Amino acid sequence: MARGRAPSYDDQRINILAQAARLFARQGYAATSMNQVADACGLSKAALYHYFRDKYALLTHIAETHVQLLLAVTLEVETAYPQPQQRLQALIERFVREYSGAQDAHHVLTGEVRFLDVPDRDRILGIEREVVVHFAQAISEVRPELRASALDKPLSMLLFGMINWLFTWFKPSQPLDYSTLAPLVADVFLNGMRGLHVPNNSLMTEP
């Protein structure tokens, strides 16, 4: 009879992924060894291999789990907020809040996926592009003319430019923490979008 998993197996996997993400984010994937991951988790190297076959598997799991979470949050918000303006605001606020607890994983997704093999990288970045498509759709539903002018996706990327790099400079403290920052980010983007001048299509076409 095969031996079953210990009750703590899933919790230990989560801890390993968190510790590996912290190390990858701080010193880089290439500079991190499995010995360092094992030490950070309080495990032997042999025990670590019981959970993940190698460092590459850790990188894949961290990046894919994080981007799948972002897609799940996006779909959840779309279901909960049928009104376009509220949906876009909720998407922005939820992403800021999600990033607050996943800064290491997000750093890995944005900076370390270049070490993945092409099929794995394409799969993970494909999910990321799907999230961007949902944001572009949310933006165009608030202002439909942005899609006609091909500005919905560039605005989505500008928005992610604001959100994605918060972890590089923002140091939460009172009175401004992630919970109070999230609606501010949404307000800045939404109010700026309302006043945005949409250029004529002819002006956007290269000569």
Q: Sorting pLDDT into bands at 50, 70 and 90, what band is 2?
A: very low
14 in any annotated domain = no
181 in any annotated domain = yes
203 in any annotated domain = no
> 151, exposed or middle or buried, with CB in 10 Å at 0-12, 13-18, 19+?
buried
| Helices and strands, counts by H and E, the chain | 12, 0
Q: Which range of residues forms the domain containing residue 88?
A: 56-196
pLDDT at 194: 59
pLDDT at 206: 42
What residue has token string 């604001």? 162
> 122, exposed or middle or buried, with CB in 10 Å at 0-12, 13-18, 19+?
exposed
Residue 201 has pLDDT above 80, yes or no: no
27 in any annotated domain = no
Domains of the chain: total:
1
Q: Sorting pLDDT into bands at 50, 70 and 90, what band is 193?
A: low
29 in any annotated domain = no
pLDDT at 121: 97
pLDDT at 5: 67
User: Using one digit for the tens of pLDDT, what is the confidence trace for 123-178?
Assistant: 999 999 999 999 999 999 999 999 888 999 999 999 999 898 887 888 888 788 88
120 in any annotated domain = yes
Query: Are residues 94 and 73 in contact, defined by beta-carbon separation less than 8 angstroms?
Result: yes
Quote the tokens at residue 87.
Answer: 């949906």
Q: What CATH number is given to the structural domain containing 149?
A: 1.10.357.10
Quote the tokens at residue 57.
Answer: 């598997």
Q: What separation in angstroms does the CA of 35 have from each of 39, 41, 47, 73, 137?
A: 6, 10, 11, 34, 44
CA–CA–CA angle 197, 201, 206 (5° rounding): 115
Residue 84 preceded by cis peptide, ω within 30: no
In sequence order, which residues have a C-beta less than 8 Å from that of residue 59 and are 6 or more positions away? 20, 24, 29, 108, 112, 113, 115, 116
User: Using one digit for the tens of pLDDT, what is the confidence trace for 69-104?
Assistant: 999 999 999 999 999 999 999 999 999 999 888 999
99 in any annotated domain = yes
22 in any annotated domain = no
Query: Are residues 55 and 48 in contact, defined by beta-carbon separation less than 8 angstroms?
Result: no
Query: Are residues 15 and 62 in contact, defined by beta-carbon separation less than 8 angstroms?
Result: no
**What's the one-letter identity of residue 101?**
G
User: Using one digit for the tens of pLDDT, what is the confidence trace for 27-77?
Assistant: 999 999 999 999 999 999 999 999 999 999 999 999 999 999 999 999 999
